[in-house]
Structure 1
Amino acid sequence: MRLLLVRHGETPSNVNHLLDTAVPGPGLTPLGEAQAAALPEALAGEDIEALYVSTLLRTQLTAAPLAAARGLAVIVRDGIRELSAGDLEMLPGHTPEGERYLRTVFAWAAGDTALRMPGGESGAEALARYDAVVAEAAASGAGTVAMVSHGAAIRVWTAARADNVDVAFAAARPLENTGVVILEGSPSDGWKVLSWQGATVAPAGETGPAGEPLDTEA
Structure 2
Amino acid sequence: MRLLLVRHGQTPSNLKHLLDTAEPGPALTPLGQEQAAALPEALSAETIDALYASTLLRAQLTAAPLAARTGLEVGVRQGIRELSAGDLEMRGDQQAIETYLTTAFAWSAGDTGRRMPGGENGVEALRRFDAVVEEAAGTGAKTVAMVSHGAAIRMWAAARAENIDAAFASTHELRNTGVVILSGAPGEGWRVIRWEDRSVGPEDSTPHASGPAGESVEDVADADG
TM-score normalized by structure 1? 0.92
Q: Are 1:87 and 2:79 counterparts?
A: no
Which residue number in structure 1 is paired with residue 214 of structure 2?
none
**How much has 1:98 moved relative to structure 2?**
2.5
- Offset at residue 97 of structure 1 (A): 2.4
Q: Which residue of 1 aligns with 2:213?
A: none
Q: CA deviation at 1:28?
A: 0.1
Structure 1 residues not aligned, in runs of 5+? 203-207, 214-218
> Letter of the aligned partner of 1:89 in structure 2?
E
Match of 1:174 in 2: 173
Q: What amino acid maps onto 2:21 in structure 1?
A: T
Spell out the pairing of 1:24-43 with structure 2 (5 A cutoff): 24-43=24-43
Give how far 1:9 is off. 0.1
Shift of 1:198: 1.4
Q: Map residues 19-168 of structure 1 onto 2, 5 A cutoff.
A: 19-92=19-92, 94-168=93-167
> 1:30-86 CA distances to partner (integer Å, 9 max, x unpaired)?
000000000010000000000000000000000000100110100000000000000
How many correspondences in the alignment? 204
Aligned to 2:217: none
**Greater Cα offset, 179-188 or 94-103:** 94-103
Matched with 2:185 is: 186
Q: Cα offset for 1:96?
A: 1.1
- Distance, in Å, in 1 between the alignment partners of 2:138 and 2:60 is 23
Query: Partners in 2 of 1:96 and 1:7 — Cα distance?
Result: 24
Matches within 5 A, 1:194-209: 194-202=193-201
The one-letter code sitting in structure 2 at the alignment partner of 1:11 is: T
1:141 is paired with a residue whose SS is coil
- Partner Cα distance (1:97, 1:79) in 2: 23
SS at match of 1:51: strand
Give identity over the alignment, percent. 69
User: 2:140 and 2:181 mapped to 1: Cα distance?
Assistant: 18
- Cα distance in 1 for residues equivalent to 2:173 and 2:90: 19
